[in-house]
Amino acid sequence: MIWWLENPARARSERQSVADLAERVSWLRGVRWYLSEGAAFAVDFEIEHNGDSIPLTMTYAEFHPNAPPIVVPRDGSRLSSHQYGAGGNLCLEYRADNWETTIIGAMMIESARRLIVGERDGDGPELPSAHAVSLGQSVRGSYFRFLLTQATEERLKAIEPGQSIEIGIAEKYHAETFTVTVAEIDGVVDARAWPAGIRETTKRGLAIRLPQGTAMPAAAQESIANLLGDLGFAPLREKAIAASGDMDLVLVSDTEIAHFYAYDGSQKRYFGRSQILKVAASSRLPDDYAVLAGKSAGIVGCGSLGSKVAAMLARAGVRKFTLVDDDVMFAENLVRNELGAAAAGAHKADAVRGRLIEIVGTIDVTVRRVALGGQESADSTDSVMSALRDCDIIIDASADAHCFNFCAAVAKESLKPFVWGEVFAGGIGGLVARVRSSHEPEPQAARNQINAWCNSHGVPAPLAGVAVPYAAAAGSGGPLVADDAEVSVIAGHLARLATDALTRPEDSAFPVPAYAIGLRTAWIFSQPFETWPIELAGSEPWKVEQDPASVAESLALLRELMPKAFDDHDQPSK
């Protein structure tokens, strides 16, 4: 809807305010209202100052009065330093960053006059700029960017004036942007501004500390070559004036650091200068997450739920994974999987490994393309279970009863925390649970209690598994119906349980070990985002220490199976 048709009273008040201003002052002339191209509400006017007449146009925004009008020179000139280029709109006192609906057109015109008078009166004070440019605004026209860490900056500034050092350069192209960083300096190979291990190109470059007072050269072949010659770098000067070839120079002056690069164009060699982006060293994770770098997670199921949990744990700091899944990624999975279209046709576990590398770079990921609980060889099943036993936490994201049985057995035998979850059919919500030895019942008992809790409400629970004792495989019905947002909510809760178990093994932030989370009004949920905590009874250790008689029986069995290994050395002396 066109705003001035929907709100004619505001349009009339805008016209009246400008008319009132024209009556009060002598500097406002030539007011003419009209509809510009596209039916925009606009007014032409002229500001008189020291005998000059400055023609301006104010065009009201499509969303007025919730967005500011645009004021531009009608002749397309560069009128002010507070202007978005020649012919661009003036940066006045009232802008998008401080706009209020009470501001009217007459106030915009008065602000335009103050800008003109302030800049044209030579004996007056210089107008301060109120135009705060964000980092994104400052670089959105620069497609070559140099990321500079604080540690690298300090090392570059420590180079002796007139001296140079060889450096390693890492370059990557992503999202239509070439980004460069120092990958190695003085033998330190972890100087990058991004994690090592991602796809990049590496090459050699040179960092030069300019003598005091030396100005930074222009990004041109002749300027750079002359500077290198003046500094006594004859071989480097010859390289700069060559007709072709790559070249990377980081120049450090008294006041700035610049990255220059050479590249071959159409029948000509060009030099460019990257936009410097300084990278602050900061952490956006809680301090206790630091321990996650030394933890390993075993995730069974790399579908919509498991793929998201893996990505969340990697972002939280986990750097070692065992991923178990035999399934293949197809385009139909894109609606809610962490993976993208490029993964179609690949095993999900392999593709999730690639996704984790994209997120954090170098990472230790073991992939097992095995259907745990499926028709696999006994050797494969035993091998996967052994790999899971070595993990610090086991996560079942398969929503498969047979798979749960094997994961539960590994967790109970190894006394490792076990987390599992599933998304309810129809996207109505989901369930997440966590058990730890000596804190919650062993996994099978815990799941049976959860199942009984679900059934106690008198309405069939929308679980993917089957009833107690979870002895049969999950049904072979149609695919789960839920969208990405619904799956992501449950994955987020599941990941939170996992990080809590790893960072706070004894003092959990979660008062109960299981939760049913509602996303729609269905089953027991009376409204979206309703959460039901599920209490579990029993906190005994999952394994009982062997008594002496049991130990003796084990030794006797071992002697029977391996008689030559003992050679009577285990017999008590007489």
| Overall average pLDDT of the 561-571 stretch | 62
- Per-residue pLDDT band for 464 (boundaries 50, 70, 90) equals low
Out of 155-159, 450-454, 479-483, 517-521, least confident range: 479-483
How far is 118 from 406, CA to CA, in rounded Å? 78
pTM above 0.85, yes or no: no
Residues 6+ positions from 530 with CB-CB distance below 8 Å: 518
Residue 179, Cβ neighbours under 10 Å: how many? 21
Per-residue 3-state assignment (H helix, E strand, C coil) for 247-266: EEEEEECCCCEEEEEEEEEC
- Per-residue pLDDT band for 479 (boundaries 50, 70, 90) equals low
| Overall average pLDDT of the 265-290 stretch | 90
Out of 184-198, 243-257, 333-347, least confident range: 184-198
| CA angle centred on 376, ends 374 and 380, rounded to 5° | 120
How far is 305 from 214, CA to CA, in rounded Å? 58
Contact 395, 501 (CB under 8 A): no
- Per-residue pLDDT band for 17 (boundaries 50, 70, 90) equals very high
Structure tokens at 391: 């993990």
| Residue 397, SS3 per DSSP | coil
Ordered DSSP codes for 341-370: GGGTTSBHHHHHHHHHHHHHSS-EEEEE--
* pLDDT-above-90 percentage for the chain: 73
- Per-residue pLDDT band for 125 (boundaries 50, 70, 90) equals very low
How far is 144 from 251, CA to CA, in rounded Å? 16
Contact 149, 155 (CB under 8 A): no
Reference 392, options 404, 410, 405; nearest CA is 410
- Per-residue pLDDT band for 23 (boundaries 50, 70, 90) equals very high
| Overall average pLDDT of the 254-258 stretch | 94
Ramachandran angles phi, psi of 337, nearest 5° = -95, 155
pLDDT surpasses 50 at 474: no
Out of 63-77, 294-308, 450-464, least confident range: 450-464
- Burial-class residue 357 by CB neighbours within 10 Å (0-12, 13-18, 19+): middle
Q: At what angle do helices 401-414 and 443-455 cross, to 10 degrees?
A: 140
Higher-confidence residue: 306 or 132?
Answer: 306
pLDDT surpasses 70 at 471: no
First to last CA, the chain: 104
Chain segment 335-387, per-residue pLDDT in tens: 999 999 999 999 999 999 999 999 999 999 999 999 998 889 999 999 999 99
* pLDDT-above-70 percentage for the chain: 90
Contact 247, 269 (CB under 8 A): no
pLDDT surpasses 80 at 318: yes
How far is 112 from 103, CA to CA, in rounded Å? 14
Structure tokens at 170: 């890492």
How far is 155 from 149, CA to CA, in rounded Å? 10
| Residue 232, SS3 per DSSP | coil
How far is 301 from 305, CA to CA, in rounded Å? 8
Average pLDDT, rounded, for the chain? 89
Ramachandran angles phi, psi of 164, nearest 5° = -135, 155
- What pLDDT score was predicted for residue 468? 32
